[in-house]
Amino acid sequence: MPRSNPQLSANGELQHLLSIEGLPRPVLEQILDTAESFVGVTEREVKKVPILRGKSVFNLFFEPSTRTRTTFEIAAKRLSADVINLNVAVSSQSKGESLLDTVANLSAMQADIFVVRHDASGAPFLIARHVKRHEHVINAGDGRHAHPTQGLLDLYTIRHYKKDFARLTVAIVGDVLHSRVARSLIQGLTTLGVPEVRVIGPQTLLPGAVEALGVRVFHEMRAGLKGCDVVVMLRLQHERMRGALLPSAQEYFKHYGLTQDKLAAAKPDAIVMHPGPMNRGVEIDSSVADGPHSVILPQVTFGIAVRMAVMSIVAGN
């Protein structure tokens, strides 16, 4: 049954944004171009456009998140939508209500867009299969699977600073195994024609068949960073720092933490990105995070424009 791409309508329009995987290049470019037009809006004195006036956006977060939820909320409000924030992690789910029951109930309250975060990979796909025709689902992060709006804002940032994807070498460093950000970004980069995407990390933090994603694998950081135009650092969750995956945060930082010294292996004009929130001194040194190569704060600003673009496109289709 669910083998066809569930995010596109029969005529190839974006119905839901569930994953970057399977989205054709023109759709990605349409999102990035639309986001570019919204960057201007976010810099105006009156930061609102009436595109989603009268529409309701439900932020449905089954997993706690402040940052992503807030940026979606800001994006929806700048499009003049009504925003309802639901922290489901502490309400209905703990009473045993099933995921689909929760969604059916909210659907009865006339939602137009569901922004969903869930700790189980694939949960937004399940929801998208059961919502009404006029309702749209945007994945705000599902398990280890995908975080497509983060991937798109990363792509936007890279395009903003580097222009041409076809000449780039991009390295993604750290816990790829548990990272939905990494999966979404890798799929976006390969779709947009980046010739070399690298992942750098210890074997314990790389998925079993990582090469199947179309990346080159490096275990030694300087070798992996050599000649890179873009360095994307991944967050290392606290619970993974000590145990069977890694012995300690210190040893991790020594080998995979981004320092000025290691960054010197990359191209002189390389940019450094991080999806946030950062663990300074674990995956990234403060002097790099705050240094001239860092584009970590512009990423946040672009994130709002990208989310505005995604919401306006799905709601318009």
Partner 1 sequence: MRLAIRNARVVDPASGRDGMGEVFVEQGRISERFSKADRVIDAGGLVLAPGFIDLAARLREPGFEHKATLESELEAAAAGGVTSLACPPDTDPPLDEPGLVDMLRRRAQALARSRVYPVGALTVKLQGAALTEMAELAEAGCAAFSQANAAMADTQVLWRALQYAATFGFPVWLRAEDAWLAKGGVAHDGEIATRLGLPGIPAFAETIALAAILELVRATRARVHLCRLSSARAVELVRAAKDEGLPVSCDVAVHHLHLCERDLGYFDSNCRLDPPLRSERDRDALARALAEGVIDCACSDHTPVDEDGKHRPFAEAEPGATGLELLLPLTLRWGAAQALSLAATLARITCEPARVLGVEGGRLAPGAPADLALFDPDAPLLIAPETLRSQGKNTPFLGHELRGRVRCTLVAGQVIYGA
Q: Which residues bind partner 1 (CB under 8 A)?
A: 1-3, 5-6, 18, 21, 98-100, 118, 120-123, 125-126, 130, 142-146, 180, 183, 207-210, 212-213
Bridge-based pairing of strands 169-173 and 82-87 is unpaired
Minimum distance from CB of 317 to partner 1 (Å)? Answer: 19
- Whole-number Å distance between alpha carbons of 273 and 101: 38
Output 146 or 152, the one with its CB closest to partner 1.
Answer: 146
Q: Least Å distance between CB 113 and partner 1?
A: 20
d(CA 158, CA 271): 8
Closer residue to partner 1, CB minimum distance, 122 or 202: 122
Distance of CA 6 to the CA centre of its chain: 19
Q: How far is the CB of 26 from partner 1 (least distance, A)?
A: 21
Contacts of 104 (CB under 8 A, 6+ apart): 130
Nearer to partner 1, 107 or 301 (CB): 107
Cα separation of 193 and 20, whole Å? 14
Q: How far is the CB of 105 from partner 1 (least distance, A)?
A: 15
Closest approach of Cβ 150 to partner 1, in Å? 14
Shortest spacing between CB 276 and partner 1, in angstroms: 20
Nearest approach, Cβ of residue 253 and partner 1 (Å): 25
**For residue 1, which amino acid is it?**
M
Tokens 């290392």 map to which residue?
236
Number of other residues whose CB lies within 10 A of the CB of residue 137: 28
Selection from 143, 137, 115, 125 nearest residue 59 by Cα? 115
Instruction: List strand residue ranges (DSSP E) for the chain, in order.
Output: 56-61, 82-87, 113-118, 136-142, 169-173, 196-200, 216-218, 230-233, 271-273
- In this complex, which beta carbon is closest to partner 1, that of residue 101 or of residue 269? 101
Query: Which residue is listed with tokens 């076809």?
Result: 166
When the beta carbons of 180 and 307 are compared against partner 1, the nearer one is 180
Nearest distance from C-beta of residue 221 to partner 1, angstroms: 22
Nearer to partner 1, 2 or 227 (CB): 2
**Smallest distance from the beta carbon of 97 to partner 1, in angstroms?**
11
Quickly tell me which residue has 């998925």 as its tokens: 207
Q: Which is nearer to partner 1, 211 or 269 (CB)?
A: 211
CB 203 within 8 A of CB 219: yes
Give CA–CA dist 138/311, Å, rounded. Answer: 8
User: In angstroms, what is the C-alpha Rg of the chain?
Assistant: 19
The span from the CA of 278 to the CA of 237, in Å, is: 10
- How far does the chain reach from its first CA to its final CA, in angstroms? 24
Encoded amino acid at 260, one letter = Q
Cβ-based nearer residue to partner 1, 187 or 294: 187
CB-nearer residue toward partner 1: 128 or 155: 128
